[in-house]
Amino acid sequence: MTTDTDASRPQGSDHRELRLVVLLLALVVGLLITGAAIYVAREHPSLAQPLGVGAAVMGALASLVGVVARVIRRWGSP
């Protein structure tokens, strides 16, 4: 006699926690990269204005996180 204990669980929720962890890690890495870019721009003002660099980096990272989230969402759907 065999029983299937996974039958009651929806198929799409298998990787929900993994997706959340990946998105949170991407956010933390993005904030670290932005902080590093602002620090370098403040230490070497001839490179660029610090807030302009931070805004450009955050914009690029936000679009990258959006693309990653869309890919993960499509990867997770059956």
Mean pLDDT of 52-69: 83
41 neighbors 48 (Cβ within 8 angstroms): yes
For residue 66, pLDDT beyond 80: yes
Tokens 């929720």 correspond to 13
pTM of the predicted model as reported, rounded to 2 decimal places:
0.52
The pLDDT value given to residue 11: 56
Q: Which two tokens stand for residue 58?
A: 């955050």
31 neighbors 4 (Cβ within 8 angstroms): no
Number of H helices, E strands in the chain: 2, 0
What pLDDT digit, counting tens, does each position of 3-51 carry? 555 555 555 556 778 888 888 888 888 888 888 878 887 888 776 677 7
